[in-house]
A = this chain, B = another copy of it.
Amino acid sequence: MTTSEEKTRRAELIAAASRLFKEQGYERTTVRDLAQAVGMQSGSLFYHFRTKEEMLVAVMAAGVAELSERLEEALIGTKTPLDKLKTLFRVHLDTLLGDDKGALSVLLYEWPSLSDKARTELIKLRDGYEREWQRVLDEAAAAGLVHHDTRLLRKLLLGGLHWTIQWYKPGGESTPAELAERLLDLVLKKK
């Protein structure tokens, strides 16, 4: 079926765009780069996406969707507030530093390239993920595990985790999972 082939091709383009946008940045990636990465002519891109920006939106939406799904799934098996807290950190860093194809890092760092309309749309999706963080942090604070100013704590922690991609080197002293544990330890009031 043509439709399913088109979906596959579209998915390939999103995967390639994730990688290229992460490596080179959105602005420095040309439509010719993108087309070449999947073996088509640059004009053919616009059969799948109306504009280059639409590709960015697709990448970012895929990034937040994957992250939210992973977190939701990982939280299912958890019981204690501490378990949930650990899961928050681990899923975030595994996705950002580990097996992610780049969509999450594009989501974090390419906001300035979005139009106002697209930004508004994506903020809604991102807020869903942050609300999940807020819920888990509130529960942890109620259990005395972390500081009670959970809204600010959420911002500090997410910022700190987002920033790991600026300095983390794979194959170094810590895996993403180990790093998650060490970072959590920095803000834990008791164990």
Contact = CB atoms under 8 A, between A and B. Distances in A.
Interface of A: 24-25, 27-28, 109, 111-113, 147, 149, 152-153, 155-164, 166-167, 182-183, 185-187
A109 B112 CA distance: 11
A99 to B, nearest CB: 21
Majority SS at the chain A contact face:
helix
11 contacts: A24-B112, A28-B113, A109-B109, A147-B185, A155-B160, A155-B163, A156-B183, A157-B160, A159-B163, A162-B163, A163-B163
Contacts of A187: 186-187
Contacts of A111: 166
A104 to B, nearest CB: 15
Contacts of A27: 25, 27-28
Nearest to A174: B152
Contacts of A183: 152, 156
A133 B25 CA distance: 30
Nearest to A161: B159
Contacts of A163: 155, 158-160, 162-163
A36 B166 CA distance: 33
Given A158-B163, A160-B159, A163-B160, A152 B25 contact: no
Contact of A160 (B25, B149, B160, B182): B160
Given A160-B160, A162-B163, A163-B163, A186 B25 contact: no
A115 B159 CA distance: 26
Nearest to A164: B159
Contacts of A167: 155
Contacts of A24: 112
A25 B113 CA distance: 9
Given A27-B27, A186-B149, A166 B160 contact: no
